[in-house]
Structure 1
Amino acid sequence: MITALGTAIISALASALLSCWLVLIGWSLMGDAVSHAVLPGVVLAYIFGLPFAFGAVIFGFIAVGLIGTIRDTSRIKEDAAIGIVFTTLFALGLVLVSVTPSHVDLGHILFGNLLGVSPRDLIQVAALGAIVIAVLLYKRRDLTLFAFDPTHAYAIGLSPRWLSALMLGLLAITAVVGLQSVGVVLVVAMLIIPGATAYLLTDRFSTMLVIAPTMSVISAIIGLYFSYYLDTATGGMIVLTMGIIFTGVYLFAPRQGLLGRQLHRQRNHTKALASA
């Protein structure tokens, strides 16, 4: 449980920080693509006796490269290129899983096996997570300007293309980190839900960078313990907890929540009638 808790917290922190930029830039689908495209890399890494992270990162970069190539050299738009690449690579991964003899349940790659994480896996997750968190915090101002106004970023001497490549690289690494916790299928939730939740609660990006990791870590801890005592899927319970928190924020957030906006309009209408 201690190893699982450490892995869950590190994964939650790294994924939640990156999710803030993904939500602002509008790269939710790209997160989905990269998280699924790493599957064949993980299986091939197992076949050749390499760390899972090595194969996953390689195929993450391959997926990003293929998407960019199809987009830039054909009439295919980016969303279609993403769909083509990630479904094809994910299907390749499923085929490799089905034909690879293994004493390890490779199905855990798909759905996660947090309670089966070894101390060695925790060290790997900690190293990759530390890289992602350190780079995001070090380059946060440049990445934030790129998210809000890439034209202005270019005007002051920054390279939007390089910053885009940096974001995609961090996305590939973060997908590997989240893979250990919730698996390939659900890792996209950890890359999107925390940022989306924070986005409904504040208009300040600096505050988002606090709210999203806090919400994500709380969800990871609650989901882990509930899955242990209820004997349910750990990754699924973590993501379900995130979804429940998002639903509450979506409905009851003071300014951006569905009910909160209605109450705000009703108060304004009442004040207008009273002043009249």
Structure 2
Amino acid sequence: MDIFFTSLIEPLTKMYFLKALIGGSIVAVVCAVAGCLVILQRMAFLGDALSHAMIAGVGAGYLFMKVFFGIEAAAGAMLVGSLIAAMITVFMIGFVAKVSRIKEDTSIGIMYTGIFAAGVVLVSVFSKYIHIDIVHFIMGDILGISDTDMIVSSIVSATVLSVIILFFRYFKLTSFDPVMAASIGVPVLFFKYLFTGCVSLIVVSAVSMVGVILVVGLLITPAATAYLLTDRLEKMMALAALFGFTSILGGLYLSLWMNSAGGGAIMLFATVQFLAVLIFAPRYGMLADMLRSRRAVPQQLTEDIIGSVFKSNGEITLQSLTGYVEAGKKQFKNALNRLTADGLIINKGETISLTEKGKAEALRLKKAHRVWETYLHHMGVPSDQLHEQAHVLEHYNDADAIQYIYEQMGSPVTDPHGAVIPDIYADGSFCLTQMFGFSGNKVVVVTIDTDKGIKPGDIVKVSQDDEGFVVEKDGQTIELTQKEAASLTVKLPDNL
């Protein structure tokens, strides 16, 4: 225990460790915050492009100062050259995507590799003037941060964070809905280039300190980790900054304990951190998805239960129902609970019965099945295959689509087997003559052609006897003629 405690405290007494922690944290926080917008705007590949293209700017700046002023490793010149190279890269990416059929992601791949290659050629051709360690440029040396690097990254981070805070509402709007932003007068292109400039500054200032791989990783991984935990941008940015800091802290300790490169250890820790959140995130994690999948109830199962109960005149024993419906015990129980919660069935333990709302849903399913059978018959499907194929298709029972198919076939009264197609409409209303199982229940009048005091919107109780249909309204009993009954369509009250 003492050894472990010492291994945690002792590095904090070392100046190189503290400088790496502070400098790395400055870079990590600004990268993480900006990375949230990078992810939302799907610009992850752009950060990689900018960081690789910088080698051309670094080489050009180094060569310029060496040839004209005889100065080697001028940080200011290399910083300006890197920024120019980054902006040229951004411009060329946009230009190629605009003037050709090439999409932006393909344009990024072309231009950043081309400019990166130009930088490598420049460094190799003028190797006697340019003394740049390509490996150091790619991997970085966070444990060897200089005071100049700290100052530059601090100024850039403060500037970029200030811009993001100042224009946060505009960045947020253009990230989530650029079309709406443009429609209300927000200059979307200006804010896109402003943010791209901020990303360029971050990459340029950080690459010399942490290397290409680490700056791209810090720009994407902490933000992606936070994205798995929240749907709010403000909270996402705060969490991303936290994950960026913990990546630096944990990675630095890891590099000391394993005697490895600092940049690699930091990215390894950040990746492991991401994978842990990916697995255990309460809402978007893999475990949460697995639990939701286990609790999920297939639509086909619930509809098969409703249909089976309806075929048994609206009530069936649990034992009989399990014989009709194929499902695992747990999934079957979940389906019954879902249908009960939705108000479609009444579960009495030993018996299952449909509510009025459940009967209406059963009618809709029956109509879907018989409409599909009729459609398949018209398409030439053999009669002995109609029922089986319609049973699969009936679960695609969008009311508007079914009604459209039904009307296009001329609103047939019966299916190919001679069974009546329930006349239930997309809005949930149905004809009085199709009210099997609804006798004695309250319904809302949708349409009727009569002068007997019944009008659309009335809540009435309808029953059927040997002589025809009877409507009870406000305690008054009204007998309908066959013509009046045919004109009456009803639907269930919303509170059922």
Indicate the TM-score class for this superposition, using the shorter chain for normalisation. Answer: over 0.9
Is there any run of 5+ residues in structure 1 with no aligned partner, and where? none
| Match of residue 240 from structure 1 | 268
1:175-230 Cα deviation digits (max 9, x unpaired): 12331343123422111111111111111111101110100111011112221332
Is 2:212 aligned against 1:177? no
Q: Which of 248, 252, 257 is equivalent to 1:220?
A: 248
Which moves more between the two structures, 124-133 or 106-115? 106-115
| Match of residue 96 from structure 1 | 122
Task: Give distance in 2, aligned partners of 1:201 and 1:248.
Answer: 12
Partner of 1:176, secondary structure, is helix
| Match of residue 47 from structure 2 | 31
In angstroms, what is the RMSD of aligned CA positions? 1.9
Q: 1:103 to 1:43 in 2, by over 3 A?
A: closer
Q: 1:34 to 1:103 in 2, by over 3 A?
A: closer
Between the two proteins, what is the percent identity of the paired residues?
Answer: 38
Q: Which of 334, 357, 361 is equivalent to 1:272?
A: 334
| 8 A Cα contact 1:16 1:191, kept in partner | yes
Partner of 2:228, secondary structure, is helix
| Match of residue 168 from structure 1 | 196
Is 2:95 aligned against 1:79? no
1:84-131 Cα deviation digits (max 9, x unpaired): 110011112222333424566343111101112111111011111111
| 8 A Cα contact 1:15 1:178, kept in partner | no
1:45-124 mapped onto 2 (5 Å cutoff): 45-47=61-63, 48=65, 49-51=74-76, 52-99=78-125, 100-101=127-128, 105-124=133-152
Is 2:167 aligned against 1:139? yes
Offset of 1:244 from its aligned partner?
0.6
Higher strand share: 2
| 8 A Cα contact 1:154 1:160, kept in partner | yes
| Match of residue 198 from structure 1 | 226
Offset of 1:75 from its aligned partner?
2.3
Task: Give distance in 1, aligned partners of 2:291 and 2:185.
Answer: 45
Offset of 1:238 from its aligned partner?
0.9
Considering Cα pairs closer than 8 Å and 6+ residues apart, tell me whether 1 or 2 has the greater RCO.
1
TM-score by length of 2: 0.53
| 8 A Cα contact 1:183 1:235, kept in partner | yes
AA at the equivalent of 1:93: G
AA at the equivalent of 1:91: A
1:147-177 Cα deviation digits (max 9, x unpaired): 0011111122210110110111011111123
Higher helix share: 1
Partner of 1:203, secondary structure, is coil
| Match of residue 385 from structure 2 | none
| 8 A Cα contact 1:181 1:235, kept in partner | no
AA at the equivalent of 1:183: G
Task: Give distance in 2, aligned partners of 1:238 and 1:46.
Answer: 29
| Match of residue 3 from structure 1 | 19
Which moves more between the two structures, 219-228 or 166-175? 219-228
| 8 A Cα contact 2:123 2:132, kept in partner | no
1:14-25 mapped onto 2 (5 Å cutoff): 14-25=30-41
AA at the equivalent of 1:272: N
AA at the equivalent of 2:218: M
| Match of residue 306 from structure 2 | none
